[in-house]
Amino acid sequence: MSALTKVGVEVPLAIGRPLDYRAPASWKLAEAMAVEVTVGTRAYVGLVTQVGKLESAEDVLHAQKLKDVRRIVSQALPPALVALAQFVASYYQVPLGVAAALITPNDAAPAATPIAWQLTPLGDKATALLTARQTKARELRALLKDALRVEQKSALSPNQRRTLGEWIEKTWVEPIFEQSQDTLVFPQFPKFTQEQTNAIAALRETQNRFVVSLLLGVTGSGKTEVYLDAIAATISAGKQVLLLVPEINLTPQLIDRITAALPNVVTAVLHSKLTPTERNRAWHDVHQGRARLIVGTRLAVFAPAMQLGLIVIDEEHDGSYKQNESPRYHARDVAIVRAKALGIAVILASATPSLESWRQARAGRYRLLRLNERATNAPPPRMRLVPGRGRHVKLGLSDQLADGIRERLARGEQSLVLVNRRGFAPSLYCPHCAWSAPCKRCDAKLTLHQSIRSLRCHHCGFQSSVPSKCPACGHPELIGSGVGTQKLEQALIEQFPDARIARADTDALSGKYAWQQLYEKILAREIDIVVGTQMLAKGHDFPALTLVGVVDSDRAIFSTDFRAQEDLFALLTQVAGRAGRHALPGEVVIQTEFPNHPTYQAILRGNYGEFADATLASRDEFGLPPLTRMALVRGEAKDAQAVADFFAHAHATLRSALAKDDGEVFAPQPAPLARRADFTRWTMQVIAPKVAPLASALATLRESIEATKTKVRWTIDVDPYDFG
């Protein structure tokens, strides 16, 4: 037993403390290593936080009851990365083990695949003695002198392959692994505009220190080219770069642009759709320094780069950077914390920055770089507001929008129609008695999916068949109320039967490569009209796309979410930027019943600063973020009384923990969706002007709840984006 070590391991479970294990002392375990352990019968990768010797008899006796560490998964992680996990645990109110799961790999490093083989000095000397009769071996030696590449190996004869294996065993031959070239030729783009040139120069000035730069550029202004220059400069200096994007769908197009601009750079891709093996290989490529550029969605902010020199966040305003499952971190904010600790620069790029970033720029804490003109010299698209209801609207499609599509078809151009709802219609409706199909498990209506004749709840997953008559009054005709992507697709098919139409939503694009295939078809002009949700609005560049239509955007105007109009402005600006990005002029048609609403008028004027300043003034007046910090406590259970008791305790605890001058605790209330999957759901908000008092009060609340061992499922969401 004296040859054992006791190890404290944080596992990715809501336990709140490290668990003790034992391991051979010869393993030389150290803090910040990742190891595999078991809890019950299930294996987990955890983070080592404590290491101690078994010295006393009591220690030895205790160790006999401990489970063994199964294996080492990685050597010690960078101290800055461990500190980042500790920040996430503290700020977002989760156990350290849950936060540590964000920074650990899911398996040990896989064997790297060589891209070539070459002779070692020993092998060069030994094979120089080959005789003239050893023709095949001499041919192999010649290939290895110049480095035998993987694609050449298949052309070897069986004897040569056997000889190669023997030489590898004798260490006469060594593998060559892919590495980035630290010295890069800078990306070659069409001539930069003066605004791009100025932004590039400003970014190069701050390459080696912590500065947050907000790159505000209209859609099509060449923001990508500007930050790719900064990426190339950082990699040339021998550093790694992290590039975050909001959506997986943006990754293939961006990777293509990066490969063309930076062909020498080994790039690792990290996002949630990777297989465990793919994700693990990418993790170790980053950790071992092979990958110099890391591209990914929000989880990539925790990539284990040992030599990180720059962080770029594209479309930094996007709500996808906020994680809506525990731990509920915001990748943009975590990235800035990480960059500050490392003393490196951050670039935030957007045509419609978040109000959080805009406020920082207005206060001079972020540096503001503007690109006001499109890099292609293409004029901004023409914007039109047209009625969204009435006799000139059929199946959600207005005559004006239909006429615009017809003109594009005649000219061989492409159109995009956006509606931010999946399905055929939001609800099934009886025109006789006003009955609409409810979900039996939620306070929500079922969505009609016409193509499979099904009613689905998009909250809990409940499904049912479509009734042949109204269950309430027996009326034989039921209709779909509202507009969804399937309904618009049907309307387009009816009006344009000869057009090539594609639908882009999560129902239609469920396969791993479905979006990439659709994207390639649009680029190849094999699609005339594409209809879909907001996944179409972000970052895509389709040269033949000249018309964008937006349907059913008025819902955001009446939303109870205080960010709804900010999100609407961003969405409409982004989707409008897809039209007329090159030589062909673009047009945007927005269907609305409220054309005089300030948000729509601001969009017509195209003045982000005016809209942002007015919205900030309104937020400040009501004490809402970003002026203040907010947290949302959620609780749900099938027992309604248990939820009521939970929130009575939570409300009293928070009010006691947060001084009156340090913030305000609001009364608990039913969630907007008060019942989901038969669970009763309530929420409680707390607002504070400063971070520290709020964090302290929330920590007190968390400790108090954990001590009560409540049956209520609860969460604390700091800086919430989802209020449902």
Token pair for 98: 């849950």
Whether residues 162 and 301 fall in one domain = no
Whether residues 605 and 486 fall in one domain = yes
Q: Going by DSSP bridges, is the β-strand pair 34-39/42-53 parallel, antiparallel, or unpaired? A: antiparallel
513 occurs within a structural domain: yes
**40-53 tens-digit pLDDT:** 999 999 999 999 87
477 occurs within a structural domain: no
* CATH code for the domain of 273: 3.40.50.300
Whether residues 638 and 613 fall in one domain = no
- Give me the mean pLDDT over the 565-576 stretch: 90
Question: Is residue 267 within 8 Å of 319, Cβ to Cβ?
Answer: no
Cα–Cα dist 545/413, whole Å: 6
**432-488 tens-digit pLDDT:** 888 888 888 888 888 887 666 788 887 788 888 889 899 999 988 887 766 777 878
Is pTM beyond 0.75 here?
yes
Question: Which one is predicted more confidently, 334 or 56?
Answer: 334
- Give me the mean pLDDT over the 248-253 stretch: 74
Judged on CB neighbours under 10 Å (0-12, 13-18, 19+), 602 is buried
Whether residues 246 and 326 fall in one domain = yes
Whether residues 223 and 306 fall in one domain = yes
Q: Write out the DSSP string of 253-302.
A: HHHHHHHHH-TT--EEEE-TTS-HHHHHHHHHHHHTT--SEEEESGGGGG
Question: Is residue 38 within 8 Å of 83, Cβ to Cβ?
Answer: no
Cα–Cα dist 703/723, whole Å: 23
Q: Going by DSSP bridges, is the β-strand pair 267-270/67-68 parallel, antiparallel, or unpaired? A: unpaired
Element (H, E) at 614: helix 608-621
Whether residues 637 and 549 fall in one domain = no
- Give me the mean pLDDT over the 207-211 stretch: 91
Question: Which one is predicted more confidently, 516 or 618?
Answer: 618
Total domains, the chain: 5
Q: Nearest-CA neighbor of 22 among 60, 57, 56? A: 60
**258-277 tens-digit pLDDT:** 888 888 888 999 988 888 98
Element (H, E) at 416: strand 414-418
* CATH code for the domain of 678: 3.30.70.360
Whether residues 231 and 341 fall in one domain = yes
Cα–Cα dist 317/229, whole Å: 22
457 occurs within a structural domain: no
- Residue 1 has a pLDDT of 45
- Rounded to the nearest integer, the mean pLDDT of the chain is 89
633 occurs within a structural domain: yes
Whether residues 367 and 404 fall in one domain = no
Token pair 């295939």 is at which residue? Answer: 517
Whether residues 610 and 647 fall in one domain = no
Judged on CB neighbours under 10 Å (0-12, 13-18, 19+), 4 is buried
Whether residues 168 and 202 fall in one domain = no
**Quick check: 185 pLDDT over 60?**
no
- Give me the mean pLDDT over the 629-647 stretch: 96
469 occurs within a structural domain: no
Domain containing 328 equals 194-371
Element (H, E) at 88: helix 79-91
